[in-house]
Structure 1
């Protein structure tokens, strides 16, 4: 029942991931489903509430999970670890005394409480002393109304989270207003202040990506580029020695790594490392999303029996956020890479099979289940298989991210 879940990052003011909101395909409004409490059901929930553990899906950060009235009253929160879960009350939950009593019990059990889509309705006033985080939907209330209420919420030691933040301007506006957390995909869009040339170091990385994305691959050329960058060489060795990548033998030298991996895998991994270095001043979540997209599109390409060398699906997913990583328009960035025309067309949102793969990945990120159903039919792959492949991509992306970005920030804990 709970195998189907999407996640959306919740960022702090430094654009580091604080937590993930988990969104279930089954259940009203992406909530923890309302079901009758009995011993058998409780055991199923406790042992199998997700195909992946919460810690795998949320990268060992906190998980925000929506709860309806019945799930709150039936104490289903107790099946989840209060150290890793924030209990989120959706706006459709009635503000009744029995729900208030349930929230008090949940709070006493050590859980953090969040109020979703808060629109400053007085019916929630009696809940505010119990609430740790208020999620303000920036589309439901105008900026002036929100600004007038911020100080009152802050006096109650409530952490403020701005939802549906889709632009960098909105992020900075609500950050200046006193918001601590932000949810929306503003960080995945380019913030272009003025047109500027890429620095020489990043041009070299683009050159490396050209080598890995091209149809003719030169080990000598790649080796020469890597030898000039000690940090990149170290990252490659560290990456290949990761147990999620290599379980057979230890790689001891750069040349050994190149020979061991072989052309196809090496093309992918070099692209990952170059991308990681290109985005070293950007939110780590951008690289993480790129990795998950890349692996998912590759797995989906295999499931559809595509025969591409190098795997086009992988490169489409990996390069899909280059505009945000480089703060440049995507067409300009794509034109610098001598990649296959089909890959370019997919990155530029032109119709085709690769664009469908990328669209499915984006549907998972936004929990757009209706679009996922339609695209599943279009490519002839069952939804259950798509969820399975996306779960695999999440696990792979977690392992790779920790390798190329060992100082990935841990979740903060608000008092």
Structure 2
């Protein structure tokens, strides 16, 4: 079980999540923590912090993990299943002979190996029989080199991962070149930012989102919209009977849910429902990231005791990638929603308390621990508590995602 951890998705050519790379704050260089804890310390962590197992943090996908060489050579814990773990090794930390020995050792243990090469050395031939994947920085200065060498790796059955892919154009370039997997937040960028009018079907959903961000709440008009959309009605019942949201009673309608959950929780739910329907033609990870952000910001807002009607902190996290979901400028989109000014300001890059929550969750996503520490001091919240809140948001996002996608969890390949 892990309490201090972050993850980054690795997507396939269809922009579906293949795996997550994991970063451990309590491990050297973000590596798997090699710490001998006594029983009392283990019990303290389990009692006081929301912990995750690897399937929680990786959504039952594969986990890419860096290990210290001592940990690898000493033998990995039996709890780490070679079917689920890809061992990342980085060139530059060891000389080539030591690294080659390590590859052979890890391969004998039954693990797949992803070699991360930042130097682009032409000395791969010795490693190719032992390496399953090669991860390279998607620096466009190296495009000619990649183009000349890509077939060399494909012929050796080595899959290629482009790291730090931050734009849709970069994704397309490396996909066309033959790369198999892509790491970076290109999927969270608008495909082509336009200011065209939204189609009528999406305008209805934007109106629903607006209702969730208003202080007033007209349950009759919202119920009317949902009742006239079979897809929304289905999602409503599936979502609201999810154990992560409702563990006790079977809910049969929006009115029933309102009586059971209360107005504030229903507002959050309506926003979530609308966002899920908006994202049906986008990578599922984009919605999943929005869910985790929404829950985390909401939990931080609760710690800071900010007002919850409307649920501003939740909405800032949940709507933070609305521009990527709708391929429009954020400034244009927020004008279509009756959001309070502080939410609009945070979503459009302004500086206020809510934007601080958004900065914080992004720091967690990237494993930027120094930034987490700095913001925790500004917010006057214990950083270990923040880790616990982030883990709680991960679990909540996993549970809601199961309601959204019939393909979750996907089998590992």
Q: TM-score, normalised by structure 2?
A: 0.93
Residue pair 1:61, 1:84 contacting (<8 A) in 2 also: yes
The 2-side partners of 1:81 and 1:350 are apart by: 45
The 1-side partners of 2:240 and 2:51 are apart by: 27
2:320 is matched with: 320
The 1-side partners of 2:156 and 2:208 are apart by: 52
Q: Deviations over 1:181-208 (max 9, x none)?
A: 0000000011116442211111111111
Q: Deviations over 1:5-51 (max 9, x none)?
A: 1100000000000000001113332112456xx7979x97xx98x93
1:274 is matched with: 274
Cα offset for 1:54? Answer: 0.2
Residue pair 2:240, 2:257 contacting (<8 A) in 1 also: yes
Indicate the SS of the match to 1:107: helix
Q: Determine whether 1:136 maps to 2:136.
A: yes
Give RMSD over aligned pairs: 2.3
Q: Deviations over 1:261-280 (max 9, x none)?
A: 32111110011010011011
Residue pair 2:60, 2:409 contacting (<8 A) in 1 also: no
The 2-side partners of 1:34 and 1:246 are apart by: 38
Cα offset for 1:159? Answer: 0.6
The 2-side partners of 1:293 and 1:208 are apart by: 20
The 2-side partners of 1:141 and 1:79 are apart by: 41
More off after superposition, 105-114 vs 169-178: 105-114
2:382 is matched with: 382
Q: Deviations over 1:337-374 (max 9, x none)?
A: 00111111111111111000010000011111111111
Q: Which runs of 5+ in 1 are unaligned?
A: none
Q: What pairs with 1:247-396 in structure 2 (closer than 5 Å)?
A: 247-396=247-396
Q: Deviations over 1:241-268 (max 9, x none)?
A: 1111112211133432343232111110
More off after superposition, 189-198 vs 79-88: 189-198
Residue pair 1:103, 1:130 contacting (<8 A) in 2 also: yes
Indicate the SS of the match to 2:60: coil
Indicate the SS of the match to 1:19: strand
Residue pair 2:62, 2:86 contacting (<8 A) in 1 also: yes
Residue pair 1:19, 1:411 contacting (<8 A) in 2 also: no
The 2-side partners of 1:397 and 1:196 are apart by: 31
Q: Deviations over 1:276-324 (max 9, x none)?
A: 1101100001100000000000000111122231221100000000000
Q: Which runs of 5+ in 2 are unaligned?
A: none
Residue pair 1:77, 1:106 contacting (<8 A) in 2 also: no
Q: TM-score, normalised by structure 1?
A: 0.92
Indicate the SS of the match to 1:127: coil
For the structure 1 residues 15 and 411, does the alpha-carbon distance in structure 2 shift closer, same or farther, using more than 3 Å as the test?
Answer: farther
Cα offset for 1:412? Answer: 5.1
The 1-side partners of 2:12 and 2:32 are apart by: 25
2:25 is matched with: 25
Residue pair 1:18, 1:411 contacting (<8 A) in 2 also: no
For the structure 1 residues 39 and 303, does the alpha-carbon distance in structure 2 shift closer, same or farther, using more than 3 Å as the test?
Answer: closer
Residue pair 1:114, 1:132 contacting (<8 A) in 2 also: yes
